[in-house]
Amino acid sequence: MTKRLKTTARAVAVLATASLAIGLGGCASSPGNGVTTLSFFQFKGEALDDFAQIITDFEAENPDIRVVQNQVADSETAIRTLLVKGKTPDVITLNANGNFGRLAQAGVFYDFRDEPALETINPAVQEILAELGNKQGEVNGLGYVNNANGVIYNRAIFEEQGLEVPETWDEFIAVCDALTAAGIAPFYGTLGDAWTGMPSWNALGAYPAQDGFFDEMRAEGADVGPDSSVSFEKDFARAMEQQSQLFSYMQDGYRGRTYDDGDAAFANGEAAMLLQGIWALSPIKAINPDVDAAIFPYPATDDPADRLLVTGVDIVVTMGRDTPNREEALRFIDYLFEAGVIEEFAASQNMVPSVIGAELSDDPALQSVKPFFDEGQITGFIDHQIPPSIPLTAIVQQFLFDGDAEAALATLDSEWAKVAARTIPVTGESE
């Protein structure tokens, strides 16, 4: 084993949290019939059929390549286990979150800097991936399709009430007041599921998180607190105040309602808006296919030009750094990023394709967020920047229960400092 591979293995081993005996194929084979078999690690259960069709079409055009799709539920544990065992799949899809960033920094994924597919992708999407982490100087993943975290609104209710989509914070509050005066619930809250407080926290917190906030937080490390140059207490107070203000418009009993309750209520016209994301539209339309819904970004500023749409790279495509089937794997990846292929996949998954010029479906919700992708007014989920050992969701939920922003922000700073103090840096350095 080379020094570089040993270092990479050590890095992955540090990252691994569990080791499971799983029956997934790792390295692909090239049998004597001249057909190369690629292992395709795929984490998204609802995309199983779509990828199966893509594979069928790809194999028809490339008879010298066979692609075997391995779809797994617990993808983060599974991929770490395969990496530790030296069974890295040829082509990999993952959710672009903090886990992906840490693995990328460990140097286990291929460097796509010189690959043509990279040039086809919206640079703003790739910037979101870069913020999660790459091995220094590299590009270790390609953004495939994207979601949108915003305010879902009922266009019919807005039209009936003569309301325009708000573009500033004052306009947003005015819309809430107008709906309340008309006897219409502005929002349907669902804090019975703690995580449903996070979409609005991510969206509002995205504004103070710009300009390298989390880079500075990591630099401060264990010194984060009242006297540090940046902190949640210093920088996130307004965002927390704004979130609390929105939750003051929730319906009675919202603390005990669930995500499913919210989808049903919105689908049935019981509220004008939902603080969720594009992922909620499928269950909403399953209840009421005729609901006229779209999305707008949280207008947390006084200047409409400063609005940001929070988006996650729902699927990032990568491959093992040292796959013996590099040429064939890249051929499959290039196929995935063909405009016609990604358009069909994105439409089926109700997502925004990352390829520049790729057409979106005519769904009003997707069309409503298109301008923000086109103009690069997008940013990533900030909870992906927060160490998973910090109980962020519980902290935010408690804040929305008691309204004590000062205590919540101080707790976030304290937890950040504790994690930084006990964390052993993981690098992918080869020297």
- Over the Cα atoms of the chain, what is R_g? 22
User: What pTM was estimated for this model as a whole?
Assistant: 0.85
Burial environment of residue 210 by CB neighbours within 10 A (0 to 12, 13 to 18, 19 or more):
exposed
CA distance 325 to 146: 28
CA distance 351 to 145: 6
Neighbours of 431 (CB within 10 A): 5
Neighbours of 340 (CB within 10 A): 10
Q: What is the pLDDT of residue 32?
A: 58
Whether 142 contacts 113, CB under 8 Å:
no
Look up the CATH architecture of domain 3-147+311-370. 3-Layer(aba) Sandwich (3.40)
* Pair type for strands 313-319 and 142-146: antiparallel
Whether 317 contacts 336, CB under 8 Å:
yes
Whether 394 contacts 71, CB under 8 Å:
no
Q: What is the pLDDT of residue 173?
A: 98
113-122: Cβ within 8 A, 24+ apart: 113/138, 113/139, 115/330, 115/333, 116/334, 117/142, 117/333, 117/334, 117/337, 118/142, 120/337, 120/355, 120/356, 121/337, 121/354, 121/355, 121/356, 122/354, 122/355, 122/356, 122/373, 122/376
* Pair type for strands 36-42 and 91-94: parallel
Q: What is the pLDDT of residue 424?
A: 53
Query: What length does the chain have?
Result: 431
Q: Low-confidence residues of the chain, pLDDT below 70?
A: 1-32, 424-431
Percentage helix, strand, coil for the chain under 3-state DSSP, each rounded to 5: 50, 15, 40
- The CATH code of domain 149-308+386-422 reads 3.40.190.10
The torsion angles phi and psi of 290, rounded to 5 degrees, stand at: -95, 0
Q: What is the pLDDT of residue 73?
A: 80
Q: What is the pLDDT of residue 20?
A: 33
Check for a shared fold between 3-147+311-370 and 149-308+386-422.
yes
Q: What is the pLDDT of residue 335?
A: 98
* CA angle, residues 71, 74, 75, in degrees to nearest 5: 60
Per residue in 358-410, pLDDT (tens digit) is: 999 999 999 999 999 999 999 999 999 999 999 999 999 999 999 999 999 99
Place of tokens 């390295």: 27
Q: How far is CA 179 from the centre of its chain?
A: 31
Domain segments of the chain as ranges: 3-147+311-370, 149-308+386-422
